[in-house]
Amino acid sequence: MMSDKTPINSLEDTVKKRFPFSIRSKMLIYFGLMFLVILTMFVLSDMYGIPFTNFRGSYKQEQSKVFQNLNLFADLRKERLKNWIGERRGDARALSESTMIRSNVASLLPLVNGVEENGFQTELQKEAPYQTLKQYLNLVKRTYGVYDKIQIIDALNGTIMISTQNQESGMDISQNDSFSKIIHQGYNEVIDINKDPSSGILKLFIFRAIYSYDDKVSAVLIMQINPDDFIKPMLHTGGGLGQTGEVLFVNQDVKLLTTLKYPLANGTAAIPLEYQINSKPTTLAARGEEGIIATRDYRGVEVLAAYRHIRITSELGWGLVIKVNRAEVFAPLQENIFYRSITGIICALLALGLITVIAGNLSQPLRRLSKAAREVQEGNLDVRISENATDEVGILASAFNSMIHQVQNWNKELKIQVHARTAELEAKNAELERYTYTVSHDLKSPLITIKGFLSLLERDAIKGDIERVKKDASRIHNAAEKMNQLLDELLELARIGRVVGVSESVSLKDLANEAVNLIEGQIKELGIQVKISPDLPVLYVDRRRFVEVLQNLIDNSAKHMGKQPEPRIEIGARQDNEKTVYYVRDNGIGIEERYHENVFGLFNKLDHKSEGTGIGLAIVKRIVEVHSGRIWIESEGNGRGSTFCFTIPEKGETPDHE
Amino acid sequence: MKIRKIISSFIVTLLILLTHTTFLKTGKAEKYSILTTPDLSNHPVYSNYKFNNSEEVVNLGVQPVYSPTGLISETMKRDAILHKALSEQGVKIRFYAFLNGDDVNHFLHRGDIDAGIGGDMPAITAAATLDIVIPILIQQGFTSIIAKHPMLIRELRGRKIGYAFGTNAHYALLRSLSSDGLSKEQVNLIPMEVNEMPEALQAGKIAAFSAWEPIPAITLNKYPENVVIHRCLSSGYIYFAKAYSDKYPEIVRQIISAEIRALRWMQSNRQNLIRASEWALQAGGRLTNQKLELTAEQNASLAESDILGLTSAPIIPQKDLRQNGLLQMEFEYIKTLGKIPASTNWDKVHDSFDLQIIIEVLANAKKYKLNEFDYDIE
Amino acid sequence: MNNNKINGEPVTVLLVEDNEAHAELVMHSFTEHRIANKIYHVSDGEEALDYLYRRGDYADQLKSPQPHLILLDLRLPKVDGMEVLKEIKSSKELDKIPTVVFTSSNVETDAARAYEYRANSYLVKPIDHEKFHQLLNDLGFYWLAWNYYPWGD
């Protein structure tokens, strides 16, 4: 059917060029893409949050946790420091306001005035208030343990009246700024940090005014604290600040109050109160701001720093910076992202793998179908595909199968029909040829005779030979008659081929009887005995035609009895391999095997002398074949008689011939 | 054709209206200067004030919703010693409550009040544009920026931030932004009253706001999931119209004594502090017409973290007045806002601060009864 | 013409024709034209072969002399004309005898086959008698007068 494949091939090639994707790859791409997009959206939204909503994503949440942690740490440190300072200030205040101190100072002051500097030690020591105060201060110092030194200064001339450190009494500190502030500017409290010139150690001082009973500054209390006592523990960064954590203290001028964990860029160590550490967090903290910032520290390393400002007095504030290396603090976040991404990728790969398998699975029936269709294209109609799938594809498969099956059947049927038609056509063509042949040959023949004897007749008439004239005329007459007969029988033959009457079920016996009746005369004349078998089967045929068949057969047998003394014709039926064979048997001259085919031919006469046009058997054959039956001769010739056999298919059967 | 014309002209009108309203909004916030005062005559609260400008009355503008000055001013209100000292001068003192220092300055400028309490920004503004005397420190603490989650300042880029224009918190906000490299153009500043800020944050109308205490404390109270993401040190002062101060130096001293006294009274006994805290909350509630969601204890703690915990001799730190010190930097910044004429000299502001007054008072503690207390506790 | 003798033999023609009338016409023409001495007429293919092979009824050589010309009709009973032709021309004995097909059929395939079987000539019987008569005259003259036979008997 599809012999010309060129257009289809080029279409396929076009399709392949423009859409080089099979269903499987399409499914893989679409579903794969879809999954990837959804997974990416999910992972991204999980990590980075959904815009316009309150969900900020795990990254931001982790980041918030980091900030919170750092803030907490910083706030705790600040709190501790404030509390500690508060306590120290409380100590100073309590001390300066205590009745004990005030009364003893009030008692001592008059004694101080007028004493020579170098007489302080020797003379004042004897005084009771002095000794009380000294003892008390020492007690305080011992009890609290954080004070290096406690001194009481005379407000009037700035000399140290009493000190927990021996040998200090009598020293003049009137030039001290903090002292001046209290005396001249009305401050009742001044706090200060400075460095001891000889040892280089930082010291914290609290100056506190001691008031007389008329609210005037009579003396100044100075309490000196070793900052190391509180700063060093403050700097401890264990427990929650990581390995790269560091705590920095600066004053309002951004000068270091503590030592640094790491050396400076030039390799030296930073010196407290000298080195101005100008990193952003320290500057901001010193300036009075508090917050969290991501920036570079004094090493140039990226850090996350929480900076705080600790207000000590209205004049004094310190900066506190808690910092951790950014890499360390955000490492968990990076890890988080990393693992999430890895998981995402693994999921994606798994999904892609699964999708590939599923796509393959789902598309396999379709691929099989498409392959089968291709094979059908190429002409193989035997291909079938499995109908196992329980979905639409299964339906498609079974539809495909039945379609192809149907096509195959149609193909076979058509082939058979074409065969049959071709055979018919060929037969008809052959017959047509035979007719033509017949016309040209067998009709011309009498014409030649007519023309010829007309000429002779003319000649004989002129001669006056009446006898010859009669003979000639007779020849002419016969020839003309022959032509007439031929024409009639040709038409008859043609008609038989075209018009077959309605078939009916009729017994062979009835047919035979009728036929015999029609040619009774001839038969009796020739003394032929006709025997019709009893119990003859029923045929489904055109009755008139078959009467004609039998008539012709009987007639033919009758004409070919030869010298048979007891001519006999039998009409009967027998079973040959489940097929009913009907026969007309005679005991005449028989027909040699080589002529068996010929006798059915048009105008073939074996014996030219015999009567008849030779068309009878042709008609018989035609009628039998029109009824889809088959006719043949069984005879050995040589006077052994002949049996004309024919079969007619049962009603509804397939044709017998060929 | 006609229809098209109508529609297009309609759209054009709409656009013009829109641009105008936005312009108006920002215009109001940005171009406002004390010298071209808006009309506060229709203010729901201030329009009810009846100022008495006679010689016998000294009018003090206070800010109850400005911790801890609210505690101090409420304590001063009940200071029998002050009233007695003033009446000996033939003067009564009246306290007028305002929502912010800008409003204080407005009425100071008009002469309706003779003195006021204001943060460093309003104080500098007033010092630059008016003639005032600033003798005493009344607040030193932190203004805060509150946001919904812990974040770096840089994450505020492009977000909306609520603030009160021309106040401490305004300046503090800009300082905070610049600490992490943001300029005011890189964020969306939304001016609003401080008492509106907590709700605006909660409703998501703003991503953060900048305010002074007790607003941050109230916010964290009401909505504990919020956090402070930045704080800035800021100060507050009592300042007097120079004319008044020159005329009535003694009254000025009495008033600042009252502040010192109030401080010391609150520092002497926690109960006093709590009481003052309650008075402040009530006064704040009356002014804003809403209950301030803060306990007296919390309000007291705020005061303790502020000036109350720092000193009992609130002398203005000289360091702040230094050349290129904090106050001068602030002064320069305010100029850029257009609130102060660009030609104004720092010296004018610098010279408005007068430290001698308080030194004199402190040196005469007995005379000014700095350590005596007599308060009218109802 | 040698008085109807070829190489001393009387001119012999074998006419193989099943149509009696036609046979009569042919013989009449030959006689009229004095073409042949002896005309032997057989009516079917089998007879023709029997004559030529001198078998059966025609065993006697004298009764069935080898003809100088065979006129052969194609449509014959028993053995078909073509068969006869084929037989003649494949037989060593007979293939030299000029065999002219004389038939009513002008079907090309018949003519082609005849030539295939080595017919010496193929003639179609004209319907018009004048022509019929003339043809036989020419035929006789050609094959029996003009044509040269190399053999004697």
> What confidence tens digit (pLDDT) does each residue in A463-520 have?
898 999 999 999 999 899 988 887 887 787 777 766 666 788 888 888 888 888 888 8
Overall average pLDDT of the B116-144 stretch: 93
- The reply to whether B16 and B52 lie within a common domain is no
Q: Which of A46-55, B328-337, B346-355 has the highest mean pLDDT?
A: B346-355
**Mean predicted lDDT score pLDDT of chain A:** 82
Is the CB of A448 less than 8 angstroms away from the CB of C130? Answer: no
Q: Which residues contact C135 (CB under 8 A, 6 or more apart)?
A: C123, C125, C126
CB contact burial A570-605 (16+ within 10 A = b; e otherwise)? bbbbeeeeeebbbbbbbbbbbbeeebeebbbbbbbb
- The reply to whether B19 and B103 lie within a common domain is no
Beta bridge partners of A532: A571
A→B interface, C-beta within 8 Å? 56, 60, 63-64, 67-68, 71, 86, 184-189, 211, 214-216, 252, 280, 284, 287-294, 309, 311-315, 317
Q: What is the dihedral of CA B325, A209, B253, B264, to 10 degrees?
A: 100
* Per-residue confidence (pLDDT) for residue A656, from 0 to 100: 61
C55/C142 Cα distance (integer angstroms): 30
* Res. A609: pLDDT tops 60: no
A519/A552 Cα distance (integer angstroms): 10
Domain containing B180 — which CATH number? 3.40.190.10
Q: Whole-prediction pTM value? A: 0.64
Residue A122 binned pLDDT confidence (cut-offs 50, 70, 90): low
* Res. B36: pLDDT tops 50: no
Which residues in chain C touch residue A603, judged by CB atoms under 8 angstroms apart? 75
- The reply to whether B3 and B65 lie within a common domain is no
Sequential pLDDT tens for chain C (153 residues): 445 666 777 788 999 998 889 999 999 888 887 777 788 999 988 899 999 988 888 888 888 888 889 999 988 888 888 999 999 999 998 889 999 999 987 777 888 999 999 999 999 999 899 999 999 999 988 988 888 887 654
**Domain C8-143 CATH class label:** alpha beta
* Per-residue confidence (pLDDT) for residue A162, from 0 to 100: 86
Domain contains B377: no
C66 versus A594: the higher-pLDDT residue is: C66
* Res. A141: pLDDT tops 50: yes
Overall average pLDDT of the A297-323 stretch: 90
Counting beta carbons within 10 angstroms of the beta carbon of residue B5, is it exposed (0 to 12), middle (13 to 18) or buried (19 or more)?
A: exposed
- In this structure, of A150-164, B108-122, B143-157, the range with the lowest mean pLDDT score is A150-164
Residue A373 binned pLDDT confidence (cut-offs 50, 70, 90): confident
Sketch the domain layout of chain A as residue ranges: 98-229, 386-499, 501-658
- CATH 3.40.50.620 is the classification of domain A386-499: no
Q: Is A429 on the interface with C (CB under 8 A)?
A: no
* Per-residue confidence (pLDDT) for residue A401, from 0 to 100: 87
Which chains have at least 3 CB atom pairs separated by less than 8 Å from chain C? A
Test the C interface: residue of A432, A448, A597 with most C CBs within 10 Å: A448
A558/A563 Cα distance (integer angstroms): 11
* Per-residue confidence (pLDDT) for residue C153, from 0 to 100: 45
pLDDT digit string, tens, across residues B8-28: 777 777 766 555 444 333 333
Is the CB of B150 less than 8 angstroms away from the CB of A284? Answer: no
Residue of chain B whose Cα is closest to the Cα of A67: B150
Domain contains B287: yes
Overall average pLDDT of the B77-102 stretch: 91
Is the CB of B326 less than 8 angstroms away from the CB of A67? Answer: no
- The reply to whether B192 and B267 lie within a common domain is no
- In this structure, of A479-483, B2-6, B102-106, C86-90, the range with the lowest mean pLDDT score is B2-6
Q: To the nearest whole percent, how much of chain B has pLDDT over 90?
A: 57
**Mean predicted lDDT score pLDDT of chain B:** 87
Minimal CA separation from B347 to chain A, in Å? 22
- The reply to whether B96 and B206 lie within a common domain is no
A293/A171 Cα distance (integer angstroms): 48
- In this structure, of A50-59, A92-101, C37-46, the range with the lowest mean pLDDT score is A50-59
Is the CB of A605 less than 8 angstroms away from the CB of C132? Answer: no
Counting beta carbons within 10 angstroms of the beta carbon of residue A426, is it exposed (0 to 12), middle (13 to 18) or buried (19 or more)?
A: exposed
| Touching status, chains B and C (3+ beta-carbon pairs under 8 Å) | no
Residue B34 binned pLDDT confidence (cut-offs 50, 70, 90): very low
Phi-psi region of A254 (alpha: psi -120 to 50; beta: other; left: phi over 0): left
Domain contains B375: no
Residue A388 binned pLDDT confidence (cut-offs 50, 70, 90): confident
Q: Which residues contact A427 (CB under 8 A, 6 or more apart)?
A: none
- In this structure, of A155-169, A178-192, A286-300, A597-611, the range with the lowest mean pLDDT score is A597-611
Q: Which residues between 210 and 239 in chain B have a beta carbon less than 8 angstroms from any beta carbon of chain A?
A: 227, 229-233
Nearest neighbour of B231 by CB, restricted to A215, A290, A313: A290
pLDDT digit string, tens, across residues A253-287: 888 887 787 777 777 777 777 788 888 899 999 98
Q: Are the folds of A98-229 and A386-499 the same?
A: no
Domain contains B371: no
Domain that holds residue B175: 143-233
- The reply to whether B124 and B253 lie within a common domain is yes
Beta bridge partners of B143: B212, B232
Q: Which of A127-131, A427-431, B107-111 has the highest mean pLDDT?
A: B107-111
Residue ending a domain, among B176, B211, B233, is: B233
Q: Are A557 and A586 in contact (CB under 8 A)?
A: yes
Quote the number of domains for chain B. Answer: 3
* Per-residue confidence (pLDDT) for residue A9, from 0 to 100: 61
Q: Which residues contact A143 (CB under 8 A, 6 or more apart)?
A: none
A186/A173 Cα distance (integer angstroms): 18
* Per-residue confidence (pLDDT) for residue A1, from 0 to 100: 47
* Res. B246: pLDDT tops 90: yes
* Res. A414: pLDDT tops 70: yes
Task: Name the pairing type of β-strands A147-154 and B57-62.
Answer: unpaired
- Choose the CATH number for A501-658 among 3.40.50.970, 3.40.50.10360, 3.30.565.10, 3.30.30.10: 3.30.565.10
B147 versus A165: the higher-pLDDT residue is: B147
Which residues in chain A touch residue C104, judged by CB atoms under 8 angstroms apart? 440-442, 444-445, 448
* Per-residue confidence (pLDDT) for residue B20, from 0 to 100: 47
Is the CB of C133 less than 8 angstroms away from the CB of A448? Answer: no
Tell me the three state secondary structure of residue A632: strand
* Res. A237: pLDDT tops 70: no
CATH level 2 (architecture), domain A98-229: 2-Layer Sandwich (3.30)
- The reply to whether B134 and B64 lie within a common domain is yes
